[in-house]
Each structure stands twice: as C-alpha cells, then as structure tokens.
Structure 1
C-alpha cells in the first residue's frame, strides 16, 4: 500500500465483505447508514498512517471519523473482528495455506504514551506487549495484548486457546501446531509440560546455568527458525504504524486495530493465492 492511499482493494474487499455483518437497513428518516467499506477504509487509513482521528480525510471513500471510531469499538465488543479472523483462517486452512508443522511464539513491546487500560511499566518502559503465535510461514495464528510487566511465558497457553478457525464444515477444525518454538525466555519446565499435555512438541532452548546437565534427546533435524515470528512483528509495525505506539486508552479500540491488522494479513494471503 505504498504511495497514495486508495483504501481496501477490490480483491481485499471481495474476500472480507462476505464475512461482515449485514449492512443496517436504511432508516425511514434522517441520514442513511455509512457503507461498511467506507468505515473500513477510514479505520485502515488511521491504522496505516498512525495519524490522529481528527486528521481523517473527508470525501468519497471515507466515513465520518466519529462513526468509524464507534464501529471499531462495536465490532471488537461484539466479536466481529475475532470472527472475521477465524473465518479468514478457516478458508486459508481449507486451501492448505497454514503450515501447522512448526509454529513460533514471541512478544514485542509497544510504548503506551497515552496511558490507559493495561498500560504498565515494564523492563522496556511504559506500554504493552503484543504476544504472537505464528505458523510455519510466519502468519499469525493468534495475537493478544497484555501489560508490559506481564510474563511472556504465561501467555503461551492463552495464545494456543485463542487460535480459532471457522470452516463451515462438520467437526472441529485443527487449531494446534505440531511444535512450538520459543527463545530462552520461555525456558520453563512447567511450560514444557503444559505444551506436551496438549500434544505439542516444545522446541525451546535451555538457558545456561552453572552445574546444569546438558539436555537429553536428539537435536532437531531442522534448524530453528524463530526469526519468522520476529518478521511478523516487522510486518505489523512497518505496514501499520498505529501499532508501533499505543495511543488508545481503552482496550477495545487497541484490540480492534490489532485484530483488523491480523485480518488484513490473512486477506492478503488469500488474495495472493486466489489471484
């Protein structure tokens, strides 16, 4: 989306539109409801540029900033963003675009200069931490946000639980990878046991301690590629500048931006595959 902002492409809109709620009916009197595509374009403009809501352009293809801001929170509270992500991931799963063989987990700090809900003082300063679980291709399976002081190890289980897919077919779709990679910050005997209980192989290096025995077992036959989750954070922060610094004081607006960005990554994946 380099250069002049044009909003959602026709291909992206064709992928996203079927999964959105129905457009409200036109009222008998008063101003008609704004089109959802204009609302999404406005939210997308703020997400990409990181600009203030008051700077939202006016004109064709854009919704009113107050209306767009309200819908951003409504769709978070009603679970529309989460359902949209699950539906897009379900379609990607049916097309074989999700690599379940090996996933990676990591966290990334976002400064919270405006303060607000869940903003805490952590090792890197005042802000929040985005935690992501990605598949073997680096596409996010689940992303959650916590205060900067929260433990990254404690977020692995919620990340696994929040990996949801909706395929529209009978039975439960797959939602667990074969293995999870993490850096030494996730080194924990309890965490390894918890991951194994879910039928997942933990691939977490051990921290070096004096008088500690070397790990047992064979080394992995494939090099560790945790860099893919770091690349995912680079995608999110380079494409969507609103995620670099958290200015939203309320969680529902911040979570809406984060989940919409994840939905856009999956929509781009599907448009690239479907042509």
Structure 2
C-alpha cells in the first residue's frame, strides 16, 4: 500500500467529517452516472487547497474526480454548514483535551491579492490599489483559530473587531455552559478606538489594545505573536495566499476548512 499523500484525508479526520455531510439520495428513475464517493472528492478539494492548482487542472489520474465535481461539492457542503460544523466539533474536542485557553485572545487582519475581483474585494492600500481581500482572524492564547472572516482589502481592521468577536461559536467540550468569550483581547494600534474598548467591556472582555502615538515596544507582542503564527499556518495553504475565487462564499469555504485542519493537527499533536 502506497504512502498517504499529505492532502488526503486521514481516517480520524474522515470519521469526524462523514457524519456531517448531507445525504444525497440517488434517483430510482433515470439515476444517471453513479455519484463519486465523498471521500475521494474531499481529497480533490484538499488537493486544490494545499497546492492552489486551478480547478480545471486537477489531475484526473489521482482519481479525485473532475475539478467541476469538486467545485460543486465544496459549494454544496459549505451551504450545508459542513465546514463550520467541523471547525466547531474540533474546537470542542480541543477544549475537552484542555488545549484551548480562553484567558486571552488576539486579533489581526492580513491582506491578500484578489486576482479576479468579485464580492468582498476592494482596492488594497498596501498593494498599490490593486484588487484585494482581507482575512481577519481571532485566536486563543495558543494560536488556535476560533473564527475567521473575509472582507474587501480596503476595509479597516478596526471595523471588523466586533464582527470577529461575534463570529466565535459557542465552544463545548466541558460540562456547563459553552465558552464563547475570552477574558482579555489583545490587538495592535490599528484597533485603538475607545468606542471599541467600551463595546468589548460591555461583552465582558478586557481590551488590551496598543495606543497610537506611543513608542513601539509596548510589550503586547509577547501575547500577540500567536495570531501572526496562525496567519502563517493558514497561508501555508496555497489557495489561501491569493484569492482566485470570484465567489466570496467559495473562498470563505476554503478559509473555514483551513481553520479546521489547523485544529485537527493540534488535536493530533495533543494526543501524542
């Protein structure tokens, strides 16, 4: 038996994904071509996520189906909430394994070029006004992504602070109420607005945000570096380094799937 390719779904991950997939009944009359099995199609989706190859260039000899088949399943499974459900499931398992630390969280945004334009793109101020998007991520104390969102490249990071906090799902995994809010939230000078500090306090979160106009070396970097590390892990997936999708929902599907895979890797490491 050959060695498993890095983008192929491991048994443990597949055991978690399979129950989340919507069931598609085959028509009795005029059934058409037999539907390609879900695990092989998922391997094709992950191949595109890992390598960044265009859908039409997905190698047929790998047996993952056509690029159009994988594209449609990515779309349909995203609509069905599969990727978000997987991310929440893995977060709950990490919390049960005592691998999540809600004592603090960190947020930041990262630009990426949008080659074909589309929804949630805009002139990027850091790329000579070229069309771009932004990834916004909130991570817990160890750098595990709790939520990620997509906006146009011209959106200010601060405008996405509260939507990002609100995007954190209720994380189960322990007895009692699910955990959703960190105790403290760390952010750089781009988020330095007193109105946002007040709103965070209203949510029961202590804001720790660097002040504009002060010298660098605030000391917050010792806690904020984890969000930069999370971006490095996300952008290790070639499909997330540059946005090729015109449709924002497809890029968001890749973004959520990337967060889930990071959680899966951390879960495996904690079990060793």
Aligned partner of residue 180 in structure 1, secondary structure: strand
The 1:241–1:63 alpha-carbon spacing in structure 2 relative to 1, beyond 3 Å, is: same
Please point out which of 226, 247, 257 is paired with 1:250.
Answer: 247
CA contact (8 A) 2:22 2:80 kept: no
Q: Specify the alignment match of 2:59 in structure 1.
A: 57
CA contact (8 A) 1:11 1:271 kept: no
Q: Specify the alignment match of 1:21 in structure 2.
A: 21
1:152 aligns with 2:157: yes
CA contact (8 A) 1:12 1:268 kept: no
TM (norm. structure 1) is 0.87
Q: What is the 5 A alignment of 1:1-275?
A: 5=6, 7-18=8-19, 20-28=20-28, 29-59=31-61, 61-125=63-127, 126-165=131-170, 167=172, 172-208=177-213, 224-238=222-236, 240-275=237-272
CA contact (8 A) 2:56 2:66 kept: no
Distance (whole Å) between structure 1 residues aligned to residue 79 and residue 33 of structure 2: 25
Distance (whole Å) between structure 1 residues aligned to residue 94 and residue 259 of structure 2: 13
Aligned partner of residue 270 in structure 1, secondary structure: helix
CA contact (8 A) 1:90 1:167 kept: yes
The 1:146–1:22 alpha-carbon spacing in structure 2 relative to 1, beyond 3 Å, is: closer
Aligned partner of residue 32 in structure 2, secondary structure: coil
Deviation string for 1:198-255 (max 9, x for gaps)? 111111111127xxxxxxxxx98x97421110011011112x0111110100111111
Q: Aligned residue pairs: how many?
A: 262
Distance (whole Å) between structure 1 residues aligned to residue 171 and residue 12 of structure 2: 21
Offset, 1:183: 0.6
Offset, 1:167: 3.5
Distance (whole Å) between structure 2 residues aligned to residue 166 and residue 208 of structure 1: 37
Distance (whole Å) between structure 2 residues aligned to residue 266 and residue 143 of structure 1: 13
**Coordinate RMSD, CA, aligned:** 2.4
Gaps of 5+ in 1: 210-218
Distance (whole Å) between structure 1 residues aligned to residue 140 and residue 229 of structure 2: 12
Aligned partner of residue 143 in structure 1, secondary structure: strand
Distance (whole Å) between structure 2 residues aligned to residue 33 and residue 99 of structure 1: 42
CA contact (8 A) 2:112 2:241 kept: yes
Distance (whole Å) between structure 2 residues aligned to residue 179 and residue 234 of structure 1: 23
